[in-house]
Each structure stands twice: as C-alpha cells, then as structure tokens.
Amino acid sequence: MRLRDCGSVALSMSLIVLYIGKGKGKTSACLGQALRAKGHGYPVAFCQFIKRNGTSGEQRLLASLLGEAFRAGGLGFVRNVPDRAPHRREALALCAWACSRLVSSWLLIADEILYAWSFGLLTDDELASLVDCAQKESCNLVLSGACAPDWLLERADCVTEMLARKHPYQLGKRATVGIDY
C-alpha cells in the first residue's frame, strides 16, 4: 500500500467506511466525518447522490466549507419515478466527478451512493470501480445508504448500521427543516 503525505503526517491507509440502515443519521455521520477530517487539515471531497442541489441545510454549509470539492448531483426522489434514465445519467456523472477527486483528497464521502446503487442507478461494477480507485489512490472512502451489496460489506473496514426504532414519519409527521434536511 502506498504512503500518502498529508503535511507533516505520512499516512498508510485507505479505509472503507459504510453508514447503512433504515434509521436516521447516515448523512449526519457523513457530515461528522467530513468535519473531523477537515478539522485536522485533510483535503475532503463530499458528494451527495439522489438529493437535488440546494434542497438541504447541509448543502449550503458544505459548499461554503469545501467549495469545488462539494457537489450534490441528484434529481430528487427516485422511488416512484417511471423513467430513471435521467437519474442514472446524473448518478454516473457524479460517480465520475467523485473518481476525479480521489487523487487530491484524503477523504471522499459519497453520501447516498448506496441508495443510487439499490435503485439501479449504479451497477455493482460501477460502485466497485469507485472503491477500487479510492484504494489505488490511498483515499479513505465513506459511503452511505440503506443497504450495501454483500461484496462491499465484506470489503469494508467499518460498517455502522442505523436502526430505526421510532421515527416521526411513522406517525404521519412531515420532515422538519433543520432536523431532516
């Protein structure tokens, strides 16, 4: 494995971290990872699949903090969309953007990429290609979504599963600005 020089610290790692599950907190965990790494001065890239740009509070902050190293590249909800071709094109473009950021980043976060995979917007091979490239470039990789393929669960260094025990949606409550988005 290649050594990566980040200022005065030489690092020999390429961790794969997954935040999965049907519970709340996956994006929040991704944001925490970004803040932690950025707080130590490491270069961070952050992308959001599925979510349309300009729709959530974290996007404004990430754009301000990361500049060109942040991109939200989704077209919005996919579940009941009959024509997913435009969503797939956006997912592929964002995946290509993410790959282009691996060389200059110590940490790349692909928030909701596993939703894109589970909805068929990315194939196993396309997802594996991003993981392979991250490891080749010695870039740490954080991926989130409801579930992950078995091969990725096996390959990951850290898997945290969020469990939904109770959620306001179950009571018919709408999403709350500043809490849910």
pLDDT tens track for 18-54: 999 999 999 999 999 999 999 999 999 999 999 999 9
- 142 with 26: CB under 8 angstroms? no
Question: Is 129 domain-assigned?
Answer: yes
Instruction: Give the CATH number of the domain where residue 56 resides.
Output: 3.40.50.300
pTM attached to this predicted model:
0.90
Question: Is 46 domain-assigned?
Answer: yes
Q: How far is CA 58 from each of CA 24, 35, 73, rounded to the nearest angstrom?
A: 15, 12, 14
Question: Is 178 domain-assigned?
Answer: no
Structural domain total, the chain: 1
Question: Is 148 domain-assigned?
Answer: yes
Burial of residue 148 (number of CB atoms within 10 Å: 0-12, 13-18, 19+): buried
Question: Is 179 domain-assigned?
Answer: no
**Average pLDDT over the chain, rounded to an integer:** 91
Q: Residue 96: which domain range?
A: 4-171
Burial of residue 118 (number of CB atoms within 10 Å: 0-12, 13-18, 19+): middle
pLDDT tens track for 90-101: 999 999 999 999
Question: Is 62 domain-assigned?
Answer: yes
- In angstroms, rounded to a whole number, what is the distance separating the alpha carbons of residues 45 and 146? 21
The residues with which 159 forms a beta bridge, in sequence order, are: 18
Largest CA distance in the chain: 52
Other CB atoms within a 10 A radius of the CB of residue 92 amount to: 16
